[in-house]
Amino acid sequence: MPFPYYGLSQKLIVELNEFRDQSDFACLYRSYSWRNDTYANGFPDILDLEVSLINSDNNLGISLQDVKRVADWGKLRNPGRIKGIEIVLPKKTLHNDNGNSAEYLARNPMEPVHILEGNIEKGVGPTYLSKVLRFGLPQDYGAIDTRVVRVFGQGDLTVQQHNWLDLSAKNYGYGWFIPKTQRNWPSAYGFWLNILRFFSHQLPNNCPHPKALVDAGLRFNNNWICADVEMALFTYASKFI
């Protein structure tokens, strides 16, 4: 199971529980679609990236090449701008020696964000920093992208459905992005992770993982993990974009 959530107000917990009761998370998860990654296909590219980045973290560390592969998966604009040192996240930053989530991340999930920001010189913003962590430790991380922020946060009143996040997305005419210069980055990402943890613990064990993810040892007993919850919420947000 993901780490326990913390830092959520009682008012927000009431809203999250209402959303949980009104939403079919399993259906949303099955409806997730991004390029080649569909439920019917078994989310093959997601599987490949999870295996690759988890292996990197447990061995040499997550590399700039891993970041570029994630950028390619997400169709980042101008991926050629990505610059940084060879190993952007030292080995065992995300896992302990037993292969479980590193214990310090329970209360300090933003430390790897700061490390990545220090080691990637340019070309990667909040969305792709979060995606790297989502693939490197799917149990305790999920991505945060412009669709999620526009629907669950701020910056786009035309599609906003909830006000869970004190984080904004912007569009200056060349596409939506999450400015990392805003005051609540990256703390709002930590808040998002606690929302994902909340749902992971509150939902019944009914996440319909594709067989390939189970066979690879990446998912167990229909338990929801943070990356699964994020995929369901991404699907929900996509309905309004």
DSSP 138-206: TTT-----HHHHHHHSBS-TTT------S-B-EESSS-EE--TTSTTTTHHHHHHHHHHHHHHHHS-S-
Per residue in 49-89, pLDDT (tens digit) is: 999 999 999 999 999 999 999 999 999 999 999 999 999 99
What gap in Å lies between CA 116 and CA 177, rounded to an integer? 18
Mean pLDDT of the chain: 97
Looking at residue 238, what is its pLDDT? 98
SS3 85: coil
pTM, to two decimals: 0.97
Looking at residue 44, what is its pLDDT? 98
* Averaged pLDDT, 135-146: 98
Q: Are 161 and 152 in contact (CB under 8 A)?
A: yes
- Give me the residue label for tokens 């999870």: 50
Q: How confident is the model at residue 97 (pLDDT cuts 50, 70, 90)?
A: very high
Residue 137 one-letter amino acid: L
Residue 117 one-letter amino acid: E
Looking at residue 215, what is its pLDDT? 97
In angstroms, the first-to-last Cα distance of the chain is 31
Looking at residue 218, what is its pLDDT? 98
Residue 235 one-letter amino acid: T
Q: How confident is the model at residue 208 (pLDDT cuts 50, 70, 90)?
A: very high
* Averaged pLDDT, 228-236: 98
